[in-house]
Amino acid sequence: MKQNILERFLRYVKVDTMSEFGIDKIPSTDKQWILANQIVEELNRIGLSDVTIDEHCYIMATLPSNIDKKVPVIGFVAHIDTSPDFKADKVNPKIWENYHGGELQLNAEHNIVLRPIEFPELADVKGHTLITTDGTTLLGADDKAGVTEIVSAMEYLLAHSEIKHGTIRICFTPDEEVGRGADLFDVAKFGAEWAYTMDGSSLGELEYENFNAAYALVKVQGKSVHPGYAKDKMINANSLAADFIRNMPLAEVPEKTAGYEGFYHLNNMKATVDAAELMYIIRDHDKEKFEVRKKFFVEQVELFNQKYKGAFSADIKDQYYNMREKVEPVMHIVELANKAMLELGIKPIVKPIRGGTDGSRLSYMDLPCPNIFAGGMNFHGRYEYVSLEVMELATKVIVKIAENLAKL
């Protein structure tokens, strides 16, 4: 199993599948089709049934039941796209067998080093086989590790008919990283009573809570005038935008919060003298606090609009909500995953997600969908890595969930 996982993962990450914000189509980038079509061929080759890919790049397939009794149809979901936050083409994975626990020089030319002092979680994977970047791209374990694990688990179950299981549905989505992975997910076609996203991080993660989320696009209109003749005429949108940023709560940002603490995050910006745009994301686990945060943000924009005589405007839209509300009534689906981990010697880490997954959206589309670890760490950047052994355990969790459900 381990060798198959390694080879499959390396194939997947070498295909650039970066999605893109602000594109009014799904998938947002045509290059996602390249990996999607390869996966469809692979699913057919290993022997899954009902393999389909629709016009929006959603892949679905079925592992038929091999038992006579009726068992709930369950699903497993992962996404094929990678984040637009960091370079994703020409991924050149590096493999470190029997990781020694110290520093790893990812790129000697640019002196890029993966250091335990900066990423203490490396201590948890000492002795493992690590897969890292070469320091110039992200790796893509988010979420090609999850895709790899689901395909590998289906392949294993097909090869081991002695393991009894019910019908299992799988789906791979595009555009999760730009918040649109569930937009066109056909829940009725999927036909599962519940599902699990394989989109978590470190070993043992089991999550059924996530942020309530919104994004806010703030526009600032300046007035460009030649600087030599600008007195009492120029309105510098750069300066107005900087003033707004300084007046947001400086302690309520991702780098200064943890656990259930919410935040405002300036995700990106572009600015000239004439105009500026600030893209914020607003997050909180508590629904009431989330509403308060959005209200505060609107008030700030209105305040600055008065201060600068109509220069500010904002568009705020909700993205997804805390799945806890939809999962708590069916907690047996969390307990099923919890039991599978314990039987494999894995200590479950039940904690809130400081982000969101397709599962949060799907849970509000009547497909309850907790999230399970996939093994990747330091997502969306050059220091991303994954443990092969953790990926193998995630694959075994999928198999064990299917096996245990058939025994109920």
Catalytic residues: 81, 176
The packing angle between helices 388-407 and 332-343, to 10°, is 120
Is residue 176 within 8 A of residue 83, CB to CB? The reply is: no
The packing angle between helices 141-159 and 388-407, to 10°, is 50
For 293-324, b/e burial (b = at least 16 CB within 10 A) is bbeebeebbeebeeebeebbebebeebbbbbb
Is residue 29 within 8 A of residue 57, CB to CB? The reply is: no
Cα–Cα distance between 268 and 277 in angstroms, integer? Answer: 8
Q: Is the peptide bond before 93 cis (omega within 30 degrees of 0)?
A: no
User: Residue 71 half-sphere exposure, CB side, CA atoms within 13 Å?
Assistant: 22
Helix H, strand E, coil C: the string for 233-285 is: CCECHHHHHHHHHHCCCCCCCHHHCCCCCCEEEEEEEEECCCEEEEEEEEEEC
The DSSP code for 223 is B
Return the residue matching tokens 């936050």: 85
Listed residue (200, 203, 146, 210) closest to 173, CA to CA = 146
Structure tokens at 174: 């595009």
Cα–Cα distance between 395 and 192 in angstroms, integer? Answer: 20
Task: State the burial class of residue 338 (Cβ atoms within 10 Å of its Cβ: 0-12, 13-18, 19+).
Answer: middle
Is residue 237 within 8 A of residue 221, CB to CB? The reply is: yes
Cα–Cα distance between 366 and 231 in angstroms, integer? Answer: 59
